[in-house]
Amino acid sequence: AQSVTQLDSQVPVFEEAPVELRCNYSSSVSVYLFWYVQYPNQGLQLLLKYLSGSTLVKGINGFEAEFNKSQTSFHLRKPSVHISDTAEYFCAVSVMDSNYQLIWGAGTKLIIKP
């Protein structure tokens, strides 16, 4: 069965510092990979996705993620965070075996310190 692990439930970081949010997955078949962001009291918004091709994908708001097949990881990065990036970030995968349904990580709360 497929699973998604987000290793950190909370990540505190100072404003303008770089950040990495970690995501690992397990699957025996090819996957699509996604990062979503959820601001307080809102729905989820797609940040970026990996389907195929270049392993480095760029998304909205200056975020990027790198797909590493050997390590089954899809870590999210931003070189310089802002207060407005305070939110919860969810990693998700979809696989053909699950009829393309999304399997979610538990989420990582990004806390920006001024």
Partner 1 sequence: DTGVSQDPRHKITKRGQNVTFRCDPISEHNRLYWYRQTLGQGPEFLTYFQNEAQLEKSRLLSDRFSAERPKGSFSTLEIQRTEQGDSAMYLCASSSQTGAAGYTFGSGTRLTVV
Check if the beta carbon of residue 6 is closer than 8 Å to that of residue 36.
no
Our finding on whether 43 is near partner 1 (CB under 8 A) is: yes
Our finding on whether 22 is near partner 1 (CB under 8 A) is: no
Q: Is 9 helix (H, G, I), strand (E, B) or coil?
A: coil
Residue type, position 36, single letter: Y
Our finding on whether 104 is near partner 1 (CB under 8 A) is: yes
Segment contacting partner 1 by CB under 8 A, of 14-22, 60-68, 73-81, 101-109: 101-109
Phi-psi region of 56 (alpha: psi -120 to 50; beta: other; left: phi over 0): beta
Our finding on whether 73 is near partner 1 (CB under 8 A) is: no
Rounded to an integer, what distance in angstroms lies between the CA atom of residue 63 and that of residue 21?
A: 11
Cβ proximity to partner 1: between 67 and 107 the closer is: 107
Shortest distance, position 114 Cβ to partner 1, whole Å: 23
Residue 62's φ and ψ, nearest 5 degrees, are 80, 5
Rounded to an integer, what distance in angstroms lies between the CA atom of residue 49 and that of residue 47?
A: 7
Segment contacting partner 1 by CB under 8 A, of 23-31, 64-72, 79-87, 102-110: 102-110
Shortest distance, position 80 Cβ to partner 1, whole Å: 25
Cβ proximity to partner 1: between 17 and 46 the closer is: 46
